[in-house]
Chains A and B, each alone.
Chain A
Amino acid sequence: MRTFVLTREEPRDGQLRRVVPTYELLSLRAAQLTNPVFTDLTVIVTGWGAIDPGEPQIGRPLDGDLNLAYAEGRLLDQRLRLRVGRQMLIGGSARNMQFDGLAGELTIWHGLGLSVHGGMPVTPRFATDLGDLMGGTRLFWRMSSQSEIGVSFLHVVDEDITSRQEVGADARWAPLSTLSVGGQIFFSVLDQRLAEGDVGVQWQPRQDLQVAADYRHTAPDLFIPASSIFSVFSDEERDEVGGDVSYRPVPRIRLGGDYHFRLLEVGGGHDTGIRARVALGRAYDTSLGVEARYLHDPSNGYVHARVTASHRLTAALAMTLEAAAYRFNDPINNQDMSFTGVATASYDFAPRWQVLVSGVTGVTPFLARRFEIMARLSYGFSWDSSEAQGAEAATEPEQVEAAETEEEQAEAAETEEDGSAGSEEETAEAGSESGDGAEGDSADETETGAEEPAGDGSEGSEAGEDATDETEPEPDGASEGQP
């Protein structure tokens, strides 16, 4: 669970007013629930509530919503997966749709399978609904986790009018461990036009180098439901082609650059940028980054520079700084510069508890003086019923993990990566070792000695550096839980 308290200036009724909303975010996952029907039964619920006492109101003083609320289980020797409730539908013609309903996926034979979904699209916040009913299917052949092809169909109805009807095909293929190719194409049946098409290739010619190229085609007007009057005015198309290069000459340094040429109906545009990031300190507990970007479209564009820094002062205390500047080609609101700075400090004051304070200041075209403060309290718990039930439950695993937020997962990973006492056990052992004097260790293990393989096995012994350098601890929190 996370609690946010913010203070910021918001335009309301044409005037800037300082508001202090409070948010409570809940994330709950209960997994491996024992039941007589399903295997791997999992329930996931994420939602939030907010109190915004400011006047005048944009919405309601008390607000809230569910992001996810579904149960998922498997049947037929795990060949059929059913998911019911509010969920995300990712892949195929649905692309990425949030809906309330039922989704099932059946593996028929050797990776050949069929997924079917139906329900009601979720109405986005601050937006009109996307339709009343939706349904679709995807027939796929999953050759391996890296190679899959599929054909799909989606139908959305809004007020008895078909608002979206698309067929699509998608594929991903990894002929080599260093090469993958993917693409997808979606065709609007209603408009008899290509709605979207992407193709991309990703190649790692060396361990430290990755090159990617992609092409995208989009018809923006087809994102408007066909039930809207605005769907009849345009047939615009946009294209974008370019690539991205990532280079990591040594484990502490990451370099990258990208360029895309934009082909719009009114002319061409350019979107390009370079970035660099370096990790300092024996435990990689300091990270510095610089980034520059140039965007030029026929109507406007900007030059952007950004510097970032993160530093873990102690095992429990970390801070980040960020500064970003934009210079617009054509003034926006009579201003051609924008500057923002962000600082954060986080403190893990107890296991699984963290408080973070961030401040934002800036001078922007719309705010002569921007100043915001946010405080975030993260807390959570997990409960394993098998432990509670002792040996009997251990033979029938039943695990309930509740309110374990991504934040906590990430922070746990961070503290481990930083060589800090990330758990009570570690703390206890460190204390006892202190009493015993220095602990034996090999000369090749540094203080943070990475306790895992260094990437691909073939490279593990080639690095010729200490173990820390072979697996960057990512002290700034690169972890599954956080985005």
Chain B
Amino acid sequence: MRALPIRAAALLLCFLAVACAGLLSSRGPELQADRIQFSHAKHIEAEVECMTCHYEVYESEALGPSYRPLEEVCMECHFEERDNGNCVMCHENVQRAGPFPPRGLHLNLSHVQHIERVEEDCRVCHRDLPEPRASIPVVPPMDACLSCHEHAQDFADGRCDRCHEDLNRYALQPVTRFSHQGDWVHTHPLSARSSAETCARCHDQRFCADCHASTVAMPVEVQWPERVDRSFVHRNDWISRHPVEAEGGTLLCQRCHGESFCVDCHRTQNLTASGTDPRRPHPRGWAFPGSAVFHGTEARRDIARCAACHDEGGNSICIQCHRVGGIGGNPHPPSWLRRHDNGEIPNNGMCLFCHL
């Protein structure tokens, strides 16, 4: 434990370094990227057709990385400015002039199909265009899409994947009904159990199986250690806190893990009743009635934990004492007889372990 403060301090320094790197990359006038002072309004006023500059759109069946015209297209008209060295007419920071990185591509969109339908009137979708002093996204707002009946129906049906490649990157909006915000890892069962088909429109079963298949090679936390933004159940020091987590709550171990999951590990660690390791799971007084940690009380409130190690069918340790006539007495809870009668015994092999 003495190494803890040193390690914590070292890691804290690393975080600060990362934070500084992020801040530095976003600030400082000398690092300010170049921007183009371009007015769509002036060009429209000059009756320049959209396709004069954005001619690639005519043949675009999938969204390309960029439809911004190359500089040579601008020079077809503005060559005099270039010849006169008047770069600042367009460039905000000439020293940083250079190629713009391609933008994010997360929509399935064919300009070709849309151009035909809007009869080459780009303004049906691109109602407002960016201007130098106005914050208007170049991308049309989604209500422009939804003004079309077909896409309105897509929206209503939740067929997001017809247009969107990935919904998880958005802010809380657009739609609460598909929101994955908040403590989603823990709350998604409520949605998934009654809307599995809706989930399936974006996620095939491979996505579910990464966490939920009981045959996976390793926990999802090990597979994706870089996903520090995810609230994975077993992240960090799960081994130490698993007895605490298993104690309460409704996210039960038994939802995912079978009965012998625990015993395999505990046996290899010598953490069994017969083991010599001081970390064995049962405290002193476990076997004695009246003890504060009597096993009967514990079993009543968390029998699944007992079963995790001791469920061995007819050889289970409980049977030795709790069979009919045994020193352990009747183990059934008070409500048992209200739900079961003796007629079940001959028909249930499990009952016959004790009711000989």
Contact = CB atoms under 8 A, between A and B. Distances in A.
B174 to A, nearest CB: 4
Given A230-B307, A238-B250, A326 B173 contact: no
A449 interface: yes
B205 A88 contact: yes
Interface residues of B, number: 189
B36 A442 contact: yes
Given A122-B214, A179-B176, A439 B99 contact: yes
Which of A146, A260, A369 gathers the greatest number of chain B CB atoms within 10 Å? A146
A127 B318 CA distance: 20
B34 to A, nearest CB: 6
Contact of A421 (B102, B268, B306): B102
Contacts of B44: none
B145 A282 contact: no
Given A210-B181, A443-B132, A454-B139, A264 B248 contact: yes
Given A426-B102, A438-B36, A457-B144, A236 B131 contact: no
A203 B193 CA distance: 19
A295 interface: yes
A301 interface: yes
Which of B12, B22, B146 gathers the greatest number of chain A CB atoms within 10 Å? B22
A382 B181 CA distance: 31
Contacts of B350: 161, 226-229, 231-232
A177 B177 contact: yes
Contacts of B228: 289, 308-310, 320-322, 342, 476
A87 B26 CA distance: 46
B21 A286 contact: yes
B172 A209 contact: yes
Interface string B147-185: 000000000111100001111111111111111011100
Contact of B206 (A29, A302, A346): A29
Interface in A186-235: 191-193, 198, 200, 202-204, 207-210, 212, 214, 216-218, 220-221, 223-224, 226-235
Nearest to A168: B193
Interface in B24-71: 25-26, 33-38, 40, 53, 63-66, 68-71
B217 A65 contact: yes
Contact of A437 (B21, B71, B102, B245): B71
A358 B303 contact: no
A390 interface: no
Interface string A273-294: 0000100111001111100000
Given A332-B243, A443-B38, A244 B250 contact: no
Interface in A237-290: 238-240, 244-246, 248, 251, 256, 258, 260, 262, 264-266, 269, 271, 277, 280-282, 285-289
B137 A180 contact: no
Leading 7 A-B pairs by shortest Cβ distance: A127-B258, A286-B22, A457-B143, A145-B158, A460-B141, A124-B214, A457-B142
Given A300-B244, A467-B138, A481-B207, 17 more contacts: A23-B218, A122-B215, A160-B349, A198-B189, A202-B176, A224-B307, A229-B316, A230-B304, A302-B244, A323-B12, A356-B225, A416-B102, A429-B102, A456-B143, A457-B145, A471-B170, A483-B227
